[in-house]
Amino acid sequence: MTTTYRPAGRRTGVRGVDVPAYRAAPCHHRRVDLVTELNVLPSFLVAVVLISASPGPAMVLILRRAAIRGGRAAVPTVLGLELGLFLWALAAGAGLAALVAASEVAYLVLRVVGAAFLIYLGVRAWWGVWRNRNQGSDLPGDAAGASTGGWWGAFGEGLIVQLANPKAALFLFAFYPQFVPADGPVLAWTACLALLQVSVETVLYLGLAVAVGRASLWFGNVRIRRRLEAASGTVLIALGLRVAASSR
């Protein structure tokens, strides 16, 4: 008996009524597609680790606060930075980051705000060092590099630094599409990847803060803390000037 191949489409029933032709179940193909999509996760994780280890404003803020105030004090800074990253990732998935990338005005505003805030943090650190230059005791309050407002102040610092960074918008707009399936829901995939990146970075940054915080006894020396505060202030000012002078 010879089997005749019929292409997928519609076929005629016993009474001449058209009925849908049965196609092969798409579940197998969907599973293959899912496996292919998940295969990008290892390369995504490697990229995230390398990005997290690169120096920048986020690293400076975390190191500065952990060294002067201890590992626990860096927790709100890390959370603020990661919330800002997640919001930028959602904006990239929704297409808002593309508007920032395409709009000269939006990019300029973010660049100016980000640069001004970094310079403000650096100048404030230097002001604290200068104001307490003749004190022989520990640096109090804001002069010790603490964020104004305690926990929420440190959280706000991290959030503002991340949201006012136009490079973050451009980077995520260029980075995430490489790992989002072409036929998948862009926003949902972007949110999932962003949660994964936030989780990895949070673990890495908190581990770094704890490691630096353990050396806080050494940083407790007044002269060392002043030098550290002055150095971190200089770096923040330099980063702010670099952001202000940078182009796309």
On whether residue 219 sits in a domain, the answer given is yes
Is the pLDDT score of 102 beyond 80? no
Beta-carbon contacts of residue 59 (< 8 Å; ≥ 6 apart): none
How open is the CA angle 124-128-133, to the nearest 5 degrees?
150
Torsion 195-85-189-48 (CA) sign: negative
On whether residue 233 sits in a domain, the answer given is yes
What mean pLDDT do residues 160-164 have? 90
What mean pLDDT do residues 63-91 have? 91
On whether residue 125 sits in a domain, the answer given is yes
**Residue 85 structural domain:** 55-245
pLDDT for res 79: 96
On whether residue 97 sits in a domain, the answer given is yes
Is the pLDDT score of 210 beyond 50? yes
pLDDT for res 246: 73
Is the pLDDT score of 178 beyond 70? yes
On whether residue 214 sits in a domain, the answer given is yes
pLDDT for res 98: 67
Q: How far is CA 88 from CA 51, 79, 85, 155, 243, in A?
A: 16, 14, 5, 16, 18
pLDDT for res 78: 96
If one compares 110 and 31, the residue with the highest pLDDT of the two is: 110
Is the pLDDT score of 84 beyond 80? yes
pLDDT for res 104: 77
Q: Amino acid identity of 210? A: V
pLDDT for res 23: 46
Give me the chain's average pLDDT, please.
76
On whether residue 49 sits in a domain, the answer given is no
What mean pLDDT do residues 143-165 have? 77
User: For the residues of 116-177, what is the DSSP string, one character each?
Assistant: HHHHHHHHHHHHHHHHTTT--SPPPGGGGTPPTTHHHHHHHHHHHHHHT-HHHHHHHHHHGG
pLDDT for res 200: 95
The count of structural domains within the chain is: 1
Is the pLDDT score of 234 beyond 80? yes
Is the pLDDT score of 222 beyond 80? no
On whether residue 63 sits in a domain, the answer given is yes
pLDDT band (50, 70, 90) for residue 247: low
pLDDT for res 33: 53
pLDDT for res 111: 82
Convert the pLDDT of each residue in 22-73 to its tens digit: 344 444 444 445 555 667 788 889 888 888 888 788 888 998 888 888 889 9
Tell me the HSE value of 153 on the side-chain side, using a 13 A CA sphere. 11
On whether residue 212 sits in a domain, the answer given is yes
Residue 137: φ, ψ to 5°: -95, -175
Helix-then-strand count for the chain, H and E: 11, 2
